[in-house]
Amino acid sequence: MAEFVSIEVDAGVGTIRLDRPPVNALNNQVQIELADAAAEVTERGDIRAVVLYGGEKTFAGGADIKEMAAKSYVEMATFGAALQGSLAALANIPKPTVAAITGYALGGGLELALTADRRIAGDNVKVGQPEIQLGIIPGAGGTQRLARLIGPSKAKDLVYTGRFVKAEEALALGILDEVVAPDDVYAAARKWAAQFANGPAVALKHAKAAIDAGLEVDLATGLKIETQLFTALWATEDQANGMNSFIENGPGKATFEGK
């Protein structure tokens, strides 16, 4: 039984809930539990989409600085790789994912949010990569996922200054995809995830894989990846059901089994 991370499932939507008061700091144990949760939601057939949530007050305040400050260089080499691995496990969940951000997502908290496909936040949130203020740089994807999301120039501004960014600016920068009232954050995230609960699970998995893998290669290679994943869907029941339903009943009426 995990102490700080739980999984709740309702109608095909799984919520990975982080609960380590007061600020959901990402210590080593939390990182392990997040990786375990990622593995579980990946394997479970009753989970078709995932919400990352830190509760009503705050998403995640970053890494556990007290824990890291006491480590030697040799210890941090191992710790840093493990931190990267735990967040990579979340990024690699082959299902639609959305981060429901309340309060703030700073440092490792923003890096956690960046592993999701979409980010929905309250209009009072603050996000940022303030590691530079500690004499270090982001080490859990902040220099990589953030730059790919909003471009290198904007990412460098945030990483170099370590400044906190309010919701309106974060939305304009492209860090956030949707801003709602603070009390509506989880409901809005769950609503977005719920639309995939009865969708073609294999096609959604392939869509995510094609986009993510394509971002890492040149266009020609990306197109080859797309073709391989596209044609592979002719081995699924959902492709047959979807196309037959379209021919017989028109668009938007197919029933998918996720196979």
Count the alpha carbons within 13 Å of 14 in the hemisphere toward its beta carbon. 23
Q: Which of 3, 40, 111, 257 is catalytic?
A: 111
- What is the C-alpha to C-alpha distance for residues 1 and 119, in angstroms, rounded to an integer? 28
Q: Please, which contacts does 205-208 make with residues 24 or more away whose CB atoms are closer than 8 Å? A: 205/94, 205/95, 206/230, 206/232, 206/233, 208/94, 208/95, 208/96, 208/117
257 tagged catalytic: no
Q: Which of 3, 75, 131, 178 is catalytic?
A: 131
40 tagged catalytic: no
Phi, psi of 232, deg, nearest 5: -65, -20
Amino acid identity of residue 40, one-letter, is E
H helices present in 62-184, as ranges: 65-69, 73-91, 108-114, 145-150, 152-161, 167-173
Catalytic residue numbers, as ranges: 111, 131
